[in-house]
Amino acid sequence: MMGLIILIIWFSLIIGIPFGCFGSYERTLLSVQKQKALFVFGDSLFDPGNNNYINTTTQFQANWSPYGESFFNPPTGRFCDGRIIPDFIAEYAELPLVPSYFEIGKDHFVHGVNFASGGAGCLVETFRGFVIDLKTQLKYFKKVTKDLKNKFGRKKSRQLLSNAVYIFSAGNNDYFNFDTTYPKHEYANMVIGNLTSVIKGIYKEGGRKFVILTLGPLGCTPGSRALNFQQGNKSGNCIQQLTTLAKIHNSILPKMLKQLQQHLPGFKYSLFDFFKVASERIHNPSKYGFKISKTACCGTGPFRGIYSCGGKRQVKEYKLCKNVKDYLFFDSGHLTEMTYKQVAELLWNGTVDVIQPYNLKSFFHLPA
């Protein structure tokens, strides 16, 4: 027994760890080998508050009331009244809340990191200078992988990275910011080409398990309906051109993922049909426990679709609904916590009609 204690002290001194801290380090090392982790990339559907830390405008932030009111006090910067999809996935996976990249501490990245940025697109040009585009999110991820290798060594960090799940909500803002000089299919191929490049970059660092959300019906948000109304369509119907762009994007995604699977050894993916899940709730809200699906809880103008929630953006006037649980959308373009929870539940244990070939519950336990 004495020999074992001496050996542990000797080992701790060699690797530069105070003996009193060895227990915690040993536990961390073991947790790296067995630990599930979630790395999050994308836009405001997933942003936990990264945009609080960059030089941007309030158009791309949400760190004030009434954002967060259903769960967080003070508001964190999530574009929602409460928790968002990655928060629920972390809970189901028995992980702590995945921290924003700018809030990771010395050890917190062991469970994953959230790099998502409200307004970000796959294209660098999308809201350039105001957001953290997907390519820059990859650059930040590479910094984290470097820190992991320095802390735990190449083999252990590689194990964590290959077992981790990488989830994306990306492309929405590229189409809201659509460059009409391009043919639609050519533009969509450019967007997905950039997404592919980032996925390959993560794969090169050791990532193997990727979850991609399709785009939702972009033309049917309260913001899109309000714009349509202001342009003379007083019925406030969806903007079909935007939804068509989303459909084109979604038709290319599965082909891209299958190609990656064919060419990258060990690459696994799961594709979630966010378009279908969101559309069903927009067109049949009462079936899913909602009363209102066309109008936002927070905002102003037609359908409360003007992006003014909280009064900190260009338009200061806003109205707030009495019961957020009645609403599908919280503001002009973002869903409520209750909606995100339903989406996360389907991501976690949904069937092949919405997520395939794996749901996240099985994906987390799938060996890399």
Assess contact for 76 and 48: CB atoms under 8 A: yes
- 94, 96, 140, 97: which is closest to 117 by C-alpha? 140
Using only C-alpha atoms, the chain has a radius of gyration, in whole angstroms, of 22
Are 120 and 140 in contact by the 8 Å Cβ rule? The answer is no
What's the one-letter identity of residue 57? Answer: T
Is 334 annotated as catalytic? Answer: yes
* Among 43, 87, 331, 332, the one annotated catalytic: 331
What is the per-residue burial (b if ≥16 Cβ within 10 Å, else e) of 95-111?
bebbbbbbbbeeeebbb
Helix (H, G, I), strand (E, B) or coil at 75: coil
Catalytic-labelled residue, pool 44, 117, 157, 308: 44
By C-alpha distance, which of 193, 225, 199 is closest to 211?
Answer: 199
Among all chains, which residue has been given the structure tokens 């290319």? Answer: 252
Between strands 319-320 and 298-299, the pairing is: antiparallel
- Start-to-end CA distance of the chain, whole Å, equals 38
Rounded-to-integer distance, Cα 162 and Cα 166, Å: 10
31 as an active site residue: the answer is no
Catalytic residues, by residue number, are 44, 331, 334
